[in-house]
Structure 1
Amino acid sequence: MDVEVDYPRLYWLSFAVAGLVTLLRAVVMGLSQVTLQTLVLLVVGMVVLGTAVRGLKDPAASGAPTEPTPLLVVAVLAATVYSLFTLATIL
């Protein structure tokens, strides 16, 4: 069984999810009290999500890894672990 993986799309998709989770965390934190940490999370989430969406529009020309390199593996795993643990703390 030969599975074809679109590595640039996987790379940017993992960052898009991390950006969305960061925005969600900022919104949940902002419901109780707006602090500097909330504002920083909001800005970071918007920048990460915006960059990922721009990369997803043209993944082949975005500069994302096109094969399973260590950078791709580490970036996708880090974004996935961050997203899962952040969602776990929100819920």
Structure 2
Amino acid sequence: MADIEVDYPRLYWLSFAVAGLVTLLRAVVVGLSGVTLQTLVLLVVGVVVLGTAARGFRDPAASGAPTEPTPLLVVAVLAATVYSLFTLAAIV
């Protein structure tokens, strides 16, 4: 059986990129009914998270992301995934 090679820094930043995109999508959906402070906060948070993830993708080795399966990596990826799934479920 072949071993699966995992690029842990890219997995870390990918989970945050998805969370940022989902946050931006939520801001758009909330903004359709009217622009409120919540919409603006969601936009800012989504842009910051997505921008940080994009910078991390440019140079994953120097980004400070975990390079092996540490508790930080597991918690961060699971938290971003759960947030993304529950937010998408709430939007639909």
Report the TM range for the smaller structure's normalisation.
over 0.9
1:3 aligns with 2:7: no
Deviations 1:20-72 (A, max 9, x none): 00000000000111110110000000000000001011111101000000000
**Which consecutive residues of structure 1, in runs of 5 or more, have no partner in the other structure?**
none
Supply the distance in 1 between the matched residues of 2:80 and 2:57 (Cα, whole angstroms).
Answer: 16
Tell me the TM-score normalised to structure 2 length: 0.96
Rounded Cα–Cα distance in structure 2 between residues aligned with 1:85 and 1:28: 15
Equivalent residue, structure 1, for 2:68 = 67
RMSD, aligned CA: 0.4
Structure 1 residue 13, shift from structure 2 partner: 0.3
Give, in angstroms, the shift of residue 80 of structure 1.
0.2
2:32 equivalent to 1:12:
no
CA distance in 2, matches of 1:23, 1:36: 14
Name the CA distance, whole Å, in 1 between partners of 2:58 and 2:10.
9
Distance 2:15 2:77 in 1: 6
Which consecutive segments of 4 or more residues in structure 1 shift more than 6 A?
A: none
User: Aligned to 1:38, what secondary structure does the other structure show?
Assistant: helix
Q: In the aligned structure 1, how far is the partner of 2:17 from the partner of 2:41?
A: 17
Name the counterpart of 1:42: 43
Question: Sequence identity of aligned pairs in percent?
Answer: 90
Tell me the SS of whatever aligns to 2:12. Answer: helix
